[in-house]
Amino acid sequence: MSIRKKIADSEAVLNWAARRIAGYIRMVNRNTNWQRIGYEELDQLAEQGEPVIVVLWHQRLAQSPYFFPLDKGRICSITSAARAGSMVGRVQQLFGMDTIAMSSHKRHVALSREVLGKIKQGVSIGIAADGPRGPERISSTVPLIWARTSGKRIFGITYSAKHGREAGTWDRLLMPRPWRNEGVFICREWTDPVPRKADEEQIEVLRQSLEQHMNDITAEADRMVGREPWAPEV
């Protein structure tokens, strides 16, 4: 193993990097004048110990530790087992979130069993619907399958910030400026019912509906802070 790979895989180095990233996220949150819109229902459910499924776009991960009311309930984030996803999990754990790593070696049945076990314990589930590798803004069916099996409600959550830049990554990750900024969090339930016996055609229609819901609330957040809403690359 090369020295470079040893350093990249070092627990000490990974933990140091996670603390630095968490520090940036906290600085953004502390130095931004935030609006928090639409959280009343989710806050109430969290206080009652009623788990939900939280969906976000991968592009808006940079403030995900503040998406869910952690002072009122628990949430488990689904991350990738790859290096970047593992770092996301480390960072989120520093904020008190549970995490489950998805990997190519873990069968979908095993992952779903683990997720449903968390839900039965009263833990909400958070997932980037277009993660871990995209394509950007194309929702997977995973949140729908879990909603169909568990009967739990789905809430779309997003944020935007007036000052920031998009990284040159596949998801165009939004990196807010960590000083004198303005931002907004939007939480809105996706209310389409997911039948317990929904077939593949129905699931595809629902998938497109959830995708549109996430794009709509994210565009709304962007417009509120004066950002140009996302558009697919041509």
CA dist 127 and 147 (Å) reads 12
The pLDDT of residue 12 is 87
CA dist 222 and 218 (Å) reads 6
CA dist 67 and 36 (Å) reads 10
CA dist 178 and 26 (Å) reads 9
CB atoms within 10 A of CB 133: 13
Burial class (CB in 10 A: 0-12, 13-18, 19+), 180: exposed
Closest C-alpha to 28, from 142, 210, 201, 159: 159
The counts of H helices and E strands in the chain are: 7, 9
CA 99 to chain centre: 12
187, amino acid identity: C
128-177 pLDDT, tens digit each: 999 888 899 999 999 999 999 999 999 999 999 999 999 999 999 999 99
- Does the pLDDT value for residue 3 go beyond 70? no
Domain ranges of the chain: 3-225
The pLDDT of residue 101 is 86
pTM of the model: 0.93
The pLDDT of residue 7 is 54
Q: Would you tell me which CATH number, out of the four given (3.40.50.300, 3.30.750.24, 2.70.150.10, 3.40.1130.10), belongs to the domain 3-225?
A: 3.40.1130.10
Closest C-alpha to 129, from 105, 157, 151, 109: 157
195-232 pLDDT, tens digit each: 999 999 999 999 999 999 999 999 999 999 999 999 88
CA dist 231 and 138 (Å) reads 12
CA dist 31 and 126 (Å) reads 25
Closest C-alpha to 73, from 57, 97, 107: 97
- Does the pLDDT value for residue 104 go beyond 80? no
Closest C-alpha to 228, from 121, 175, 218: 218
Task: Identify the bridge partners of residue 77 per DSSP, sorted by sequence position.
Answer: 99, 126
Closest C-alpha to 77, from 169, 64, 69: 64
**207 versus 11: which is more confidently predicted?**
207
Burial class (CB in 10 A: 0-12, 13-18, 19+), 37: middle
Compute the average pLDDT of residues 108-112.
82
